[in-house]
Amino acid sequence: MEENKTTNDKNSANVNTESDAAEKTAVKNADLDAAVKKKSAVPVIAISAVAVVVVAAVLIAVVLFVSSSGEKRRIADQLALGDRYLSELDYDQAIAAYLAVIEIDPKNKEAYENFVDTYIAWSDATATDGNPDESIKLLENAVSELETLRSEDNNEIIDEQLQRLLNRLEELRGKTPESGGAMSPADELLEQGEYDSALEMYLSMLEEDPENAEAYLGIIEVYLRQGDFDTALQYAEEGYEKTGDNRLKEMIDMINSGNIKDSRGNILSMTQYREGRLEYRYEYSYDKDGREVTQHTWYYSSDGNIEEWYSDSTYDDLGRNQATIEYFSDGGRYEHNYSYTDDESESFRIDNIHYDAGGDIIEWSYDLYEHGRREHHELDLDNNRNDRLTHVDISTYDENGREVRRDSYHYYEDREEHTYSEIIYDENGNWIGEKEYDDDGVLIREYLPEY
């Protein structure tokens, strides 16, 4: 009995022990399964997180690329606009365009250089007109305006451009009546257009003093006005090496840039780029009174072809334009002939006649100007110059000389049509686009390019 009881107790203990072991094994397996599942989930979560980060990075890159591309295009457009205004001697608008670039990119060196170039050209033109005090005041305003643009990012650029303005101010103040300064005989010959005599005198000055920076500047000016940029550059480099004068270094930089002006502010050479590619190059010459006499233009197409044309202008005894003739590479020409009502009147007419290489007229129009009003007339040239009037444009301008409205009249054999266009500008006076309406004021079309 006692033995059976002991045996039963052992069996019961064994059962309990096996049960406990099974339970522990089950718990251990359950823990192991959970650990395996948890470990398996980690790569899935990690992969998902990486995918999100990659997608986000791609999206950010796309946004940044699009934003950067848009900014670059707006900058290029504003720089080109400023260059165009400067070539038209519209200094206010040129400055506004360059300031617009600086607002987009406060570290754009070209915009600052063009900003200062414009002020110097404006100042020089004002001085040439006999207003030295006003010329100095313009540069002083430029100094103040440039200082307001200073930041931690553009200190070096601002300092460099300020030095240019201060150097020019020093030159002008040295020639004002108050300072007792006066032009040298060589300078007087230069301004009278006696270039050979002026050059001879400047070379004589240099022979007496090989480190005479003023003589070098005079020699360079003579060659620039004669369109010999290579010789002007040689003297600028030689002069800077011998004298270290910063004005000669500025001459070197200006000539190498391809955007060249004389001391009067007249543009002698100008380049225009599109998306980093040279598209246009212009060269100009002037008479002793600063009036444009010739313009030479080269157009470089994207396929490597070069088109070339030039123009000659003549003036009457009162300094008014008599004619401008454009000559094309295909042998054709475009004549713009001016006629005036009388010596005092502001009214005049320009006949614009396009001839082909054989001398036949292929296009003819004329413009009438009277007290700020312009009428553009086009004729049908199927037969001869006196044929039927087909089209008239009448433009109205504001006090700043900007076209604000254009009325167009089209004359057909069986009817007449009238439309008018509103020309739109932004708050800085930059052209934005046009909207055209019919005679009842209904919008027909609009041209508002996005930048």
| 394 membership: H or E segment, kind and range | strand 389-397
In the structure, how many helices (H) and strands (E) does the chain have?
A: 10, 15
Decide if pLDDT at 134 tops 80: yes
The CA distance from 341 to 219, in Å, is: 43
List the end-to-end C-alpha distance of the chain, in Å, as a whole number.
109
The pLDDT mean for the chain works out to 80
The share of the chain scoring above pLDDT 90, in percent, equals 37
Listed ranges 48-57, 226-235, 341-350, 359-368; the one with the highest mean pLDDT? 226-235
- For residue 246, the model assigns a pLDDT of 92
Residue 405 pLDDT more than 80?
A: yes
Cα 373 to Cα 397: distance, rounded to the nearest angstrom? 7
The arithmetic mean of pLDDT across residues 389-400, rounded, is: 81
pLDDT surpasses 90 at 82: no
Q: Is the model's pLDDT at 38 over the cut of 60? A: no
> Would you say residue 177 has pLDDT above 80?
no
14 backbone dihedrals φ, ψ, rounded to 5° = -65, -40
Predicted local distance difference test score (pLDDT) of residue 374: 77
- SS3 label, residue 260: strand
Q: Which residue has the higher pLDDT, 374 or 225?
A: 225
Query: Residue 149: which of 138, 134, 160 has the closest Cα?
Result: 160
C-beta separation of 291 from 313 below 8 A: yes
For the chain, give every domain's residue range: 185-257, 275-447
Q: What average pLDDT does this structure show over 42-71?
A: 51
Extract the tokens encoding 316. 């009457």
Bigger pLDDT: 4 or 126?
126
Cβ count within 10 A of residue 10: 10
- pLDDT-based confidence at residue 398 (cuts at 50, 70, 90): confident
Per-residue pLDDT at 393 exceeds 90: no
Burial environment of residue 232 by CB neighbours within 10 A (0 to 12, 13 to 18, 19 or more): buried
Residues in the chain: 451
Q: List CB contacts of 229: < 8 A, sequence separation 6 or more.
A: 223, 255, 260, 268, 269
Better-scored residue on pLDDT, 212 or 370: 212
Percentage of the chain exceeding pLDDT 70: 77
Q: pLDDT tier at 369 (50, 70, 90 boundaries)?
A: confident
pLDDT confidence of residue 239? 96
**Among 296, 299, 253, 251, residue whose Cα is nearest residue 272:** 299
DSSP structural state of residue 387: S
CA distances (Å), origin 179, targets 151, 182, 264: 35, 9, 21
Residue with the bigger pLDDT between 87 and 312: it is: 312
Higher pLDDT among residues 174 and 328, named by residue: 328
Residue type, 78: Q
Flag whether pLDDT at 344 surpasses 80. no
pLDDT of residue 317: 86
**For position 9, what pLDDT does the model report?**
46
Mean pLDDT check: name the lowest of 15-19, 115-119, 242-246: 15-19
Q: Which CATH number among 3.40.640.10, 1.25.40.10, 1.10.357.10, 3.30.1280.10 corresponds to the domain 185-257? A: 1.25.40.10
182-196, 200-214, 238-252, 276-290: lowest mean pLDDT where? 182-196
Residue 298 near residue 308, CB atoms below 8 Å: yes
Neighbours of 214 (CB within 10 A): 19
Q: Whole-model pTM above 0.85?
A: no
Determine how many CB atoms are found less than 10 A away from the CB of residue 54. 10
